[in-house]
Amino acid sequence: MRLHRNLVYAVIDSLRDVFNEEVYADKAVEKALKRDKRWGARDRKFVAETIYDIVRWKRLYAEIANVKAPYSRPDLWRLFVVWCVLRGIKLPDWNQIEETPTRRIKGKFDELSQIRKFRESIPDWIDELGVQELGEEVWTKEIAALNKKADVILRTNTLNISKESLQKQLRSENIDTEFVKGCDDALRLVERANVFKTEAFHNGLFEVQDASSQLVASYLDVEPGMKVVDTCAGAGGKTLHLASLMKNKGQIIAMDIYESKLKKLKIRARRNKVHNIDTKVIDSTKVIKKLHGKADRVLIDAPCSGLGVIRRNPDSKWKLQPEFLDNIKEVQQKVLQQYSKMVKPGGKLVYATCSVLPSENQQQVEFFLASDEGKDFTFVKDHKVLAHQFGFDGFYMALLERK
């Protein structure tokens, strides 16, 4: 591979933004890809994948390069050089690239690869927490799986097309896919491609959604004609899946504290030809109280640490703090206590997170069921999705029924 200055400069600038300016990696990549309209697909792929790669392995590379945050520009170049050496990429004779001790870099890599927190490039506290909650053996396998590059998974919009027909249409647009075992509506891209430019996407035939995330809506056991509330809808990936499962019949109330996210959901719903969704901004407790005892089904896709999805958000490892985790657990229990009141007698509730930690998952459900609000509910079943077992994101979902 031959390195090009303008592409590498874009990578270095983006790393500075992510590491020193707290910019989210996806936003940094988005900005970088707008730098030069002349870049082709290979150029764009190099920029995006290199940024994500160095962000993912930051701790390991920083230890090898012997640099510490905040990173100066020469430090960022040293991180880039480590990335190149470990991938066997020939380094050009540029002023920014110092004399490179290739053997020392490889030797240090071999040495550090024996220590999990360096090998998997994670903060000490996350490593200790993972062992504490999942045990040494399971955590070692799980964090390794969570550091693998995420596949691109599509969810067929079965309102408009079958999975088999979508596969054929995408093939006609030079995108090859394969079925995903255990996930009825999913297709996995054989090779990464910009699916958002396809005719199939513009016609609302699919959404991009990880296979694990696709399991949640199905877990709610919805039927056409029901009244369903998605309490933490966000931009609506699971809301749209619920609409498909309900065949556009009945009512889905998509709620969120952020109006901007619900506006994105409306745009997606139009493209998907979904018309049974009403959106409501949670701007007071009145919105919740009006729905007490009214819903056949309630989905609580609760805010969480996001540890199950770090393969697609590698910078979250560096942004996450212990205090946030403590606070988010309080929020999770609060939403369970409040939003569960919307379930009518005989109705069902799913509590879900994209975390692999029992303290955010089954322990929250146990605490809720032991509380005054939870005494009217019975535990039906739960599903712990671990990345090293399923091959996709880490997730949790529990199904409860109101007596």
Catalytic residue, chosen from 84, 232, 304, 354, is 354
Residue positions counted in the chain? 403
Structure tokens at 255: 């709620």
Nearest to 308 by CA among 200, 391, 225: 391
Find the distance separating the first CA and the last CA of the chain, reported in whole Å.
63
Catalytic, 84? Answer no
- Rounded to an integer, what distance in angstroms lies between the CA atom of residue 93 and that of residue 77? 13
Cβ neighbours of residue 365 under 8 Å, at least 6 residues apart? 336, 351, 379, 382, 398, 400
- Rounded to an integer, what distance in angstroms lies between the CA atom of residue 272 and that of residue 275? 9
Question: Which residues belong to the annotated binding site for S-adenosyl-L-methionine?
Answer: 256, 283, 301
Structure tokens at 217: 């809506």
- Rounded to an integer, what distance in angstroms lies between the CA atom of residue 331 and that of residue 151? 30
**DSSP H stretches of helix in 190-257:** 199-202, 211-219, 237-245
Sign of the CA dihedral with 9 first, then 10, 15, and 18 last? positive
Please report, as a single letter, which amino acid is at residue 351. Answer: Y
Structure tokens at 224: 């056409």
- Rounded to an integer, what distance in angstroms lies between the CA atom of residue 279 and that of residue 59? 42
In degrees and rounded to multiples of 5, residue 256 shows phi and psi of -165, 160
Nearest to 157 by CA among 227, 239, 267: 239
Q: Are 102 and 110 in contact (CB under 8 A)?
A: no
List, as one string, the DSSP characters of 4-70. Answer: -HHHHHHHHHHHHHHHHS---HHHHHHHHTTS-TT--HHHHHHHHHHHHHHHHTHHHHHHHHT--SS
Nearest to 208 by CA among 168, 230, 236: 236
**Beta-strand pair 206-208/227-230:** unpaired
**Beta-strand pair 186-189/153-156:** antiparallel
Say whether 295 sits in a helix, a strand or coil: strand
Question: Which residues belong to the annotated binding site?
Answer: 256, 283, 301
Catalytic residue annotation: 354
